[in-house]
Chains A and B, each alone.
Chain A
Amino acid sequence: MSVPQGLPLIDVEHLTMRFGGLVAVDDVSFSAQPREITAIIGPNGAGKTTVFNCITGFYKPTVGRLTLRGGERDYLLERMLGHEVGQRAKVARTFQNIRLFPGMTVLENLMVAQHNKLMRASGWSVFGLLGIGAHRRAEEAGVELARGWLERIALIDDADRPAGELPYGAQRRLEIARAMCTEPRLLCLDEPAAGLNPHESAELNQLLASIRDRDGVGVLLIEHDMSVVMKISDHIVVLDYGRKIAEGSPAEVQDDPAVIRAYLGTDDEAIDG
Chain B
Amino acid sequence: MGARLPSMLKDAGLTAFVAAALGIFIVGFRTVDVGRGLTFDYHLVDLAVAVVTIFFGRLGLSLAANGLRWPAMALGAAMIAAGVSPLQLPSGFLHWFVALGGVLLVIRGAWPWANDAMAAAAKSPSGVVLGQAGAKWSGWLLLAAAVAMPFTPFADQKTMDLGVLILTYVMLGWGLNIVVGLAGLLDLGYVAFYAVGAYSYALLSTQHGLGFWTVLPLAGMMAALFGVVLGFPVLRLRGDYLAIVTLGFGEIIRLVILNWFDLTNGPAGIGSIPGPTLFGAVFAETPPAGKQTVSDMLGIPFDGNHRLIFLYYIILVLALITNLFTQRMRRLPVGRAWEALREDETACRALGINPTNTKLTAFAVGAMFAGFAGSFFAAKQRFISPESFVFIESAIILAIVVLGGMGSQIGVVLAAVLLIGLPEWFRDLGSYRMLAFGLAMVLIMVFRPRGLVAHREPSLRLHPVKPGGSG
Contacts and interface: CB of A to CB of B under 8 A. Distances in A.
Interface in B307-349: 325, 328-329, 332-334, 336-337, 339-340, 342-344, 346-349
Interface of B: 325, 328-329, 332-334, 336-337, 339-340, 342-344, 346-355, 361, 456, 458-463, 471
Contacts of B353: 83, 86-87, 112, 115-116
A102 B352 contact: no
A83 B471 CA distance: 34
B336 A112 contact: yes
Contact of B461 (A101, A125, A160): A160
A178 B353 CA distance: 13
A245 interface: no
Interface string A94-127: 0100011111110110011111101100101100
Nearest to B325: A129
B332 A115 contact: no
Nearest to A94: B350
A99 B345 CA distance: 9
Nearest to A105: B458
A12 interface: no
Contacts of B325: 129
Instruction: Report whether over half of chain B's contact residues are helix, strand or loop; otherwise say mixed.
Output: helix
Contact of A92 (B332, B346, B350, B355): B350
A101 B339 contact: yes
Interface residues of A, number: 50
Nearest to B459: A108
A223 to B, nearest CB: 18
Contacts of B349: 57-58, 82-83, 86
Contact of A129 (B329, B456, B460, B462): B329
B458 A104 contact: yes
21 contacts: A82-B349, A84-B352, A86-B350, A86-B351, A99-B346, A105-B458, A111-B336, A111-B459, A112-B353, A115-B333, A115-B340, A115-B352, A122-B334, A125-B329, A125-B361, A128-B328, A128-B332, A147-B462, A160-B458, A179-B351, A182-B351
B462 A118 contact: no
B458 A100 contact: no
Interface string A239-263: 0000000000000000000000000
A145 interface: no
Most central of A128, A143, A182 by chain B CB within 10 Å: A128
A112 B460 contact: no
Contact of A115 (B351, B459, B471): B351
Interface string A143-176: 1001100100000110110100000000000000
A116 B352 contact: yes
A235 interface: no
A85 interface: yes
Contacts of A88: 352
A247 B348 CA distance: 33
A83 B346 CA distance: 9
Contacts of A162: 456
B352 A143 contact: no
B352 A83 contact: yes
Contacts of A124: 334
Nearest to A128: B332
Interface in A124-146: 124-125, 128-129, 135, 139, 143, 146
B343 A102 contact: yes
A111 B346 CA distance: 17
A56 interface: yes
B337 A112 contact: yes
Given A101-B343, A104-B340, A125 B332 contact: yes
Most central of B328, B354, B361, B463 by chain A CB within 10 Å: B354
A93 interface: yes
Nearest to B345: A99
A150 B462 contact: yes
A178 B351 contact: yes
